[in-house]
Amino acid sequence: MMATREHPHHRPFFALALRLCSAFVLAALLACVKLASQSGIHLAEIMFWRQLPTIPILLTWFALRGQLDVLKTRRTASHARRSGFGLVGMALNFGAATLLPLAVATTLNYSSAIFAVLLSALVLREPTGPWRWSAVALGFAGVAIIAQPWGNELPLLGATIALGAAFMIALISVQLRDLGRTDHPLTIVFYFSLFTVPVLALAMPFVAKSHTPQQWLLLLACGVIGLLGQALLTAALRYGAVASVIVMDYTGLVWATLFGWLVFANIPPATTWIGAPLVIGAGILIAWREHRLGQREPREVQAVSSQ
């Protein structure tokens, strides 16, 4: 009954709108992270201040509304696992943004849909037909063109880290979808910070330094913008299926390119514009195929799987 009350029905268009907003906000977050890193702030400290403001902000928000009970959960272990994966994913995602042009890092992140298919086939043993395998091949062709492991236009370490981040996104998206059936989106965001801040705090004595007012503003922006983006991202997965809402992520390439040009005077190499349509096309093909397969499932099967 709890799952039904918290997740009464699909709201696909609302989910798409939330995911569209999250694409812009998360592109802005990566721009702030890149600026903070270039100013000399250690990645671990950026992650710490990205996570820390979430706890007091959400506690204050729910306290003022008399809704602290929203933060109660019966799935502490699931939140802990999600936080562990999320911490690794954040480190890889932020690391890729510091090493690569924003548009390139964002495009390589889109290969998460490809990894989702591979995980479903190899780990979950789900049947995977020629459509999805073709999409995987198409996507990896695009990744190869962008990363160019045979050349030196992009740092290989940065490309590898970006692909690792995409793999983690695929894992985390499934976890968020599952948690969203029973817990409020902001509850999921709250526990992510609650579990990761103590871990990141262990590194602070070794990496923290004094900062200029501009650096503190960047760290504050990382925290506030990151909280907003995470809330939008999690809420989208609460009201829509992963395969459907992930299509909106591709608008992030527009914002990443714009931020890269305006803030960092950086234009992606030509190989990005050749490979990006292949990666994006693969993701859209996978999302379309998942949507079609979902329409064929009997209603009673969907009801059982959502419990």
* More confident call, 98 vs 298: 98
Average pLDDT over every residue of 80-103 = 92
When the pLDDT of each residue in the chain is averaged and rounded to a whole number, the result is: 80
Q: Residues 60-72: pLDDT tens digits? A: 989 998 888 888 8
* More confident call, 71 vs 141: 71
Contact 42, 207 (CB under 8 A): yes
pLDDT at 299: 38
The phi and psi torsions of 7 (rounded to 5 degrees) equal -135, 65
Tokens 């005077």 -> residue: 265
Percent over 70 (pLDDT), the chain? 79
Query: Tokens standing for 298?
Result: 């009997």
What contacts 65, CB < 8 A, 6 or more positions away? Answer: none
Find, among 80, 158, 126, 157, the residue nearest to 286 by Cα. 126
CA distance 174 to 290: 14
Residue ranges covered by each domain of the chain:
2-305
Percent over 90 (pLDDT), the chain? 29
Q: Residues 288-305: pLDDT tens digits? A: 666 565 555 433 333 323
Between 10-19, 161-170, 209-218, the lowest mean confidence (pLDDT) is in 10-19
Contact 47, 264 (CB under 8 A): no
* DSSP-H helix ranges across 148-269: 156-179, 185-201, 204-207, 213-239, 242-245, 252-264
DSSP per-residue codes, 45-94: HHHHHHHTTHHHHHHHHHHHTT-GGGG--S-HHHHHHHHHHHHHHHHHHH
Q: Residues 163-211: pLDDT tens digits? A: 899 888 888 877 877 888 888 888 998 999 999 999 999 999 999 889 9
